[in-house]
Chains A and B, each alone.
Chain A
Amino acid sequence: MTAESTAASIGSGTPSRGGGRFDAIVVGAGHNGLVAAAYLARAGLDVVVLESSPEIGGATRSEEAFPGFRFSVFSYLVSLLRPEVIHELDLVRHGLFLVPTASTLNPLPGGDCLFREADPQRTYRHIARHSRRDAEALFEYKLEMRRMGHLMYRLQRAAPDELAAAIGDRVAESAEHLDVDVSAEVADIARYFLDLPAARLRSFVQMLTMSSADFLGQWFESDVLKAALSSSSIIGSMLSPRTPGSAYVLLHHYMGEVDGAYREWGFQKGGTGAVAATIARAARSHGAEIRTDSPVARVLARDGRTAGVALANGDELRAGVVMSSAAPQISLGRLLDPEDVPGDAGAGLVERAARWQSGGCAGKVNLAISGLPRFECMPEPGPHLSGGITIAPGLDYVDRAYDEAKYGGFSERPFIDMIIPSVLDPDMAPPGKHVLSCFVQYAPYELAAGDWDDGRREAFGDAVVRTLAEYAPGIEDQILHRQVLVPPDIEAIAGIPGGNIFHGELRLSQLFLLRPDPAAAAFRTPLPGYYLCGSSTQFGGGISGGPARLAALRVLDDLRGVESAAGGGAETP
């Protein structure tokens, strides 16, 4: 079908800029909201994105926090951005520029370290210093993770209801409970999944339920390597490497690639805010409009269908399609009135949204520094400074940091995952000076003893600097400015309830048909015309654009369905 006929099919007539009537409204201008808008606009719909804050980007925003020093405020690296999103939206033309970060340095106490480089032979030698057996096992492990990552990636290409229907169809009786048409592609995915060798399927189910320490323990013996590899299993999650479920978070971070290079991580020139800006440019190039300072108060319905949104200032915008990129506490708990939902499908939505787990656990400490840090293990400038640097010297260390946060304190000796963006992109800081981006765990959303006031925020910042100084002596004297952000800040600035960077813990009880709600796991909510497209849907968090793409494709599918039901005529291309 043509773009024009899609637009015509929802009966909005001619587009009317500023007239308060659109084909589709997207709530939230984070990267997912922008991706959804770009796909809809690309299909010819008249789309407006409504962002409550003064800036676009959500949790991907970048800012000049101190004169001359630019920071990606919350997120910091890009790997999960789906290649199909990059290609279909032509993001490279609109400014996507990812610089690979090829190595990871784990400084250890006493001036030792574990350094993993792009070159596998060199990495082998580094690991063999700690355990020859582990150095041997790394190749086999990487292969297995690659297989698992591909499997998960395949599963994530299908809306969970279709996938469940296809799996149900293959395992018999339960199929009739799910009234979903399944495309040939989804049927293929289900078949591929169920036809996997038993050992691989077992490994996959283990990954959904196991701790990363146990999972990694199947290959490795050295505490140092296990701790280093387990870093990806706790990022953004209130989990320790020994908590069941952390193996899935590990897998989640093995689905990425940069420019076709599997498992690469990249730094976006200008910071991750430039990714949002790139997607915004793509969306605008197709005619989408983006309005900031436009908080949405609720979704409007008429006759059991979506009719538009009401803004906080009382203005009403009309559209037959509304997509929300917000977390379920907002999308389902606040914007939607269950009374508007036809039948009893709205029952329990608000209560279930309230039980959604999205308490943040991570803080961000952004430092402006006068020169490059000198790590005791590698004091001179070198390639290690252009990669990731992680403070996670052992499993017990990370577990103790987690235990402190579990009972409502922040970690006095935290886990830190940092990069030095100005090494990769000199425009991030004045000449000779640098920015250091520290993603820090654990900082719970709620403290047992009082609020996150300035005193506690600074105490947390001090703990980070103290910890860094153990590995990079003298760094405390290099700090020119310091920005400390904790989960309530992420909540306030990016609008994510609880401040969880994934819009909700990535764990089996919040995945697939449960993400974010059994009644809204397929991007469709029980109110026809109202959709979800954020990180709290299938695909989950990270700068992937995956959820929004699948959601937008489903919207377009549904519109075609409406059209063919109305005898619209045009066939699907």
Chain B
Amino acid sequence: MSDRVVIVGGGHNGLVAAALLARSGRDVVLLEARPELGGLAATRELIPGHRVDAGSHDLGMFRRSVMEELELGGHGLELIEAPAVAAVPATADSSAVVLWPEVARTVEGLGQVSRRDAAAWPGFVFELAERAAALEPLLSRPLELADMGRLLIAPELLRTLSSPLEESLRERFENPSLLAALCGVALPATGLGPRANGTGWPLLFHCALGGSDRLAPVVRARGGAGALASALAASAAASGAAIRTGAVVSRILVDAGRVAGVRLADGERIEAGAVISTATLSVTFLDLIGAPLLEPRFVRRVLNVKYRGAAARLALSLDGLPAFRGLERPALTGRIVLAEQPDDIERAADAAKYRRLPPRPWIEAALPTALDPTLAPAGRHLLLATVHHLPFDLEGGWATGGPELLARVAAELERWAPGIGGLVREHAVLLPTDYEADYGATAGALHHGEMNPSQSLWLRPTASAWAGEPLPVDGLWLGGAGCHPGGGLTGLPGMIAAVSLLRG
């Protein structure tokens, strides 16, 4: 049997696994289908001369100890922490709100819109940090049965994560923009509106991994998220890993219940004693291994994974910084949440239930050039507008739905930043169907499976087991976002896969 480890997928999780394993002396071959590395964290020239992040671009949750161990700084990674966490601009009917990492600064700003909310903010941050800290140890290792027991008997933590987010927030806060800002931080790519049970969980998740003393800070890599992939690849290569792009894996080869290697689309066969798949569960088991080799019961479990929470991204090259009302330049560096109130998000989630476009999409916007001007040619700014809570199986299809969505997004942007239309020079679009076709994100779900409590923690598969049962193929390990602890640029699923494999 070969000692080689083949890693399927060169997203950040695959690269983390490759680098960690190579560093431990393993013979590692990483195979990425696309020409560039990074997967959903890749940076592409979608607009000529611009470095556009295709998916995640916030490194705030990426495990710092992994960065250090892999010496990513030495391999070219430079982090920039945004001064702002999140901001909601003002509209004719609502006030602007900015959340900063510094509690006092946030309180000062909130004092302008609600004394009550300003007074409640420090207690909220403290309590959230406390609960996030209790959760954090559960996110960086495979969970055991005992962990479920521990959670069930920790009343306040359980209450926070299982409650509707909006309801918990309303116990303290009243200002609609503030509520929208917090929902906008928590709910991207979840598929759930803020009135749904269990939406407390994604906010806790963000805070637990974002450094629990601060509220989910925004951290970017200079040059775009792809710089993280480049640094990881350089680190892995320096330890001897072989990294191949343009290598499309068509099959994970199984021999007598054990992986034997992989076969590429061009027919090449690569022997391996172990395979780490960072593809979605659906792709890994149904496409690469194939249902006929698996128990029907297991196949059904794979088919039952929910991939709701599709997103679309519009990238705009602008002639200057857009004028979001009530926001100064430092406030434009974090997440810009374009929703007046939590119900704007709820209504988008409603529309998705019925396979419709949101009448008024809520948008998670970012202006990466406000932090890193090198991403666009001189004088230009880049705006990334991500629309969440979209149905993948849109009624009528995306061929007609795409242009309609763009028109609605343009109208929304104009409402939030009057005059922005006149600044637009070029644009590029990624629709849910593109995310599936280009990145293998089943049903366009950026997190490889909806991040709600029924698909999280103990219920999300981990490197070698799913709900306490070992995976059905020996030598197969899972290391993608579909695994515990889930999606986002954390590096944790890849790390857990590498650590588990090394332990045997």
Please list the residues of chain A having a beta carbon within 8 angstroms of any beta carbon in chain B. Answer: 164, 167-168, 170-172, 174, 178, 194, 198-199, 201-202, 205-206, 209-211, 214, 217-218, 239, 242-245, 247, 355, 357, 396, 399-400, 403, 406-407, 507-509, 512-514, 518, 521
Contacts and interface: CB of A to CB of B under 8 A. Distances in A.
Contact of A210 (B159, B343, B454, B458): B454
Contact of A244 (B159, B196, B343): B196
Contact of B149 (A170, A202, A406): A170
A396 B453 contact: no
A509 B467 contact: no
Contact of B162 (A194, A399, A507): A507
Given A218-B304, A403-B350, A245 B152 contact: no
A217 B307 CA distance: 14
A209 B198 CA distance: 7
A388 B453 CA distance: 33
Contact of A174 (B150, B198, B346, B467): B150
Given A218-B304, A508-B162, A509-B162, A199 B197 contact: no
Interface in B151-208: 152-156, 158-159, 162-163, 167, 171, 192, 195-198
Contacts of B167: 357
Contacts of A194: 145, 149
Contacts of B300: 218
A254 B63 CA distance: 44
Contacts of A244: 192, 196-198, 452-454
B342 to A, nearest CB: 12
Contacts of B452: 209, 244
B55 to A, nearest CB: 25
Name which of A168, A355, A507, A508 has the most chain B CB atoms within 10 A of its CB. A508
B34 interface: no
B429 to A, nearest CB: 29
B459 A206 contact: yes
B410 interface: no
Interface string B456-490: 00110000000111000000000000000000000
A407 B347 CA distance: 10
B1 interface: no
A171 B454 contact: no
Nearest to A507: B197
Contacts of B162: 209, 245, 507-509
Nearest to A213: B353
A221 to B, nearest CB: 11
Given A206-B454, A209-B198, A214-B304, 20 more contacts: A164-B153, A167-B152, A168-B149, A168-B153, A171-B146, A171-B147, A174-B153, A198-B467, A202-B459, A205-B148, A205-B459, A218-B300, A239-B197, A244-B197, A396-B354, A399-B353, A406-B346, A508-B198, A514-B155, A514-B158
B197 A508 contact: yes
Contacts of B148: 201, 205
Nearest to B465: A198
6 contacts: A172-B146, A199-B468, A242-B353, A244-B453, A508-B162, A514-B159
Contacts of B149: 167-168, 170-171, 174, 194
Nearest to A515: B155
Given A170-B149, A214-B306, A509-B158, A209 B171 contact: no
B232 to A, nearest CB: 33
